[in-house]
Amino acid sequence: MKTEDGSIKEKLEGVISFNLLPGKTIDEFCEQHFENYNRDQFEAVALRVYAGKEFIVTLYALDKVRQEGTTYDPNKLPVKKFKSFNLTFQDMLPYIAEFNFTISPGNYPLDDIEVMNK
């Protein structure tokens, strides 16, 4: 896709959303797939999924126990990073009811578009 200056943009960025199946929780998924994760100590903050030469799922979780008396920046949210190199997208599917995403080369803000052919 060409940008306004005529260069070719090879990276598309955007937002993705997942709706979990009824009765499924992010905690259940994390406890099953990330060693040492338990919902009593941790709260899932974000999941990052990388699919390329390998498939990596990274979980960022708030450690509810280790919040006080730390040397972390008080303006940041300290999280523990869990990585899984053993997961596949098929492992995620039993938790997902649906997902939706929109990607763009970033030439125009998606919030500013108006569909004309409604």
* CA pair distance 28, 92, nearest whole angstrom: 11
Angstrom distance (rounded) from CA 47 to CA 30: 10
Is 110 domain-assigned?
no
pLDDT tens sequence for the chain (118 residues): 555 666 666 888 888 999 999 999 999 999 999 999 999 999 999 999 999 999 999 999 998 887 666 677 778 888 999 999 999 999 999 999 999 999 888 888 888 888 899 7
Whether residue 61 lies inside any domain: the answer is yes
- Give the domain range for residue 49: 24-99
Assigned token pair, 91: 């492992």
Residues 58, 35 contacting (CB under 8 angstroms): no
Please give the pLDDT value at position 68.
Answer: 65
Domain annotation covers residue 91 = yes
- The Cα–Cα gap between 49 and 111 comes to 25
Strand partners, 100: 17
Do the domain assignments include residue 53? yes
pLDDT for the residue 6: 63
Domains of the chain: total:
1
Residue 108, in any domain of the structure: no
For residue 30, being part of any structural domain is answered with yes
87 lies in some domain? yes
Is the pTM here over 0.85, yes or no? no
